[in-house]
Chains A and B, each alone.
Chain A
Amino acid sequence: MIRKAWKSMIIILVLCFLYLPILVLAVYSFTDAANIGTVRGFSLHNYVTLFTTPELVQMIAGTVVLAFVSAFFATILGTLGAIGAFYSKKGMASVINTMNQVPVVNADVVTGFSICILLVVVFGISKDSFIPLVAGHVTLCAPFVFLSVVPKLKQMDSSIYEAALDLGATPFTALIKIVIPQIFPGIVSGFALAVTLSLDDYFVATYTKPATFDTISTYVVNATKGAQTTIKTALWALSTVIFLLVVLFALFMNIRAGKNGQERNGI
């Protein structure tokens, strides 16, 4: 009995440690307090500010568009890379796999800084063209897409590609109609991962973004340094919204995975 109590205590402690900070922020986002600690009345003004201040709305929209565009390109690159590596000869495949590992463990600062040096300084591409920023985010995300597609390829019965060729399909048709549908769940989770990585990124963006453009991360860092309290408190609301979206997304993915599992068990 006592052991059981201990167990639940520890679980509650860990959960508090994980979720209390964001809960505090969420609670305060629904007040008109200007600082954490001074509790005043309930208010939605933070949410109103968040969705009506053009500067904030543009920043959020820009970040989301950037995330989806980069994730799109990263998904194509990562998927093609994974398929290529999978069907390469053994030695080549392990070389590609190892080379893919390096950017994954590499510090984002290094990635961002080196892309800035290469594209902006060496090739002279203007930061205002958004090319360095998108390129940076694609570089950041593609290896992760690669990693989420590879297991699906390994699960796939490798002879189905040959079966498609055998039935008269060209290699391209076999890839599109047979291989891609098999690894599609991996591609989708790779895409989702790429979107969140791009949304999260701070370092690559600071080095490569145009001066007039801000992602949520860079904006939050600048805003918290400044003194504009209305904006600052609006960011509490933004954090809450992002958190809620993430929770919903996670729930959705879990339910879907559960359903698929049941189907596979023949229910």
Chain B
Amino acid sequence: MERLLDIRNLKVWYSTYRGFAKVVDGINMHVGKGEKVGLVGESGCGKTTTMKSILRVLDSRKVHIPEGEIIFKGSDILRMNYNEIQQVRRRSISMISQEPSAALNPVFTVGDQIMEVIRHSGQFDKNFSKKDMKSLAIKAIRDVLISDPERIFDSYPHQLSGGMKQRICIVMALVTPRELLIADEPGTALDVTIQDQIHRLLRSLVEEKHMSLIMITHSLGVARELVDRIYVMYAGNIVEAAKTKDLFKNPLHPYTRGLMDCVPRLSGGGVSEGIYGYIPDYINPTPGCRFYPRCPDAKEVCSRQKPPATVATENHLVACFKYN
């Protein structure tokens, strides 16, 4: 499959008063054209930081990117000038955030905000009137299964429920043609029944428009239902990458296994012990594997050396000395 996005050895550091927090520690991942990819990890593991660095929306005064490349359609996003990155944001990559009420501006109507996206996309010529824009926006609102788009078009974000607001965010992300959608836990702030609706909607829209999707989530269940391939992230490292089916059939990395054990099952069977310990300090991390202090299978070598990503089976990568 042709690669649309290729992240190579990306490192992202935050500067704090104690020194640099090495939040993203050399990750490699790629997204093919039309592929749906999941990035799964617990809070604070660096998933959102990675995604924000793709769009370069991190605060440049606090963030230092010492190494790495983010190749999007052949050019490196990290080395683009302002105009170039702006073009990528306008035309190619869009993002849905976790908190829909924070993503929408409370002083403009929903319609205004959607029209702004259309206006700045630069994908329409001068003959494209305001009326055409509005009808495009209304059609897009109807596409996300809102039954009365005209009323929603003229309402303010506070007049809508959480699920509706998230639908509007999806409209804004998809109203103009895009190649890649980054969805950052779009269902987390919502109830399960609404979350289920939003996920089904996202999947059908992405498939219909032949886009690529990066789904960030902390829930293995959500990833299993939505994506083709999963990256499991722990403390700034990708610890395992595999096709969804393979990952759930045969999880390899001790962290992935621990995480799966922790999920309470609908079929019963009690609650597991949890994973021993807490996530490590990012400012002075261990020189070896970052999971080493919590790992049940830790060996001596794990404390000294970083485990490289090894191919366990075809298309199944794992960063653990157990499989080296």
> Do A and B assemble together?
no
Q: Which chain B residues have a beta carbon within 8 Å of chain A's beta carbons?
A: none
Q: Which chain A residues have a beta carbon within 8 Å of chain B's beta carbons?
A: none
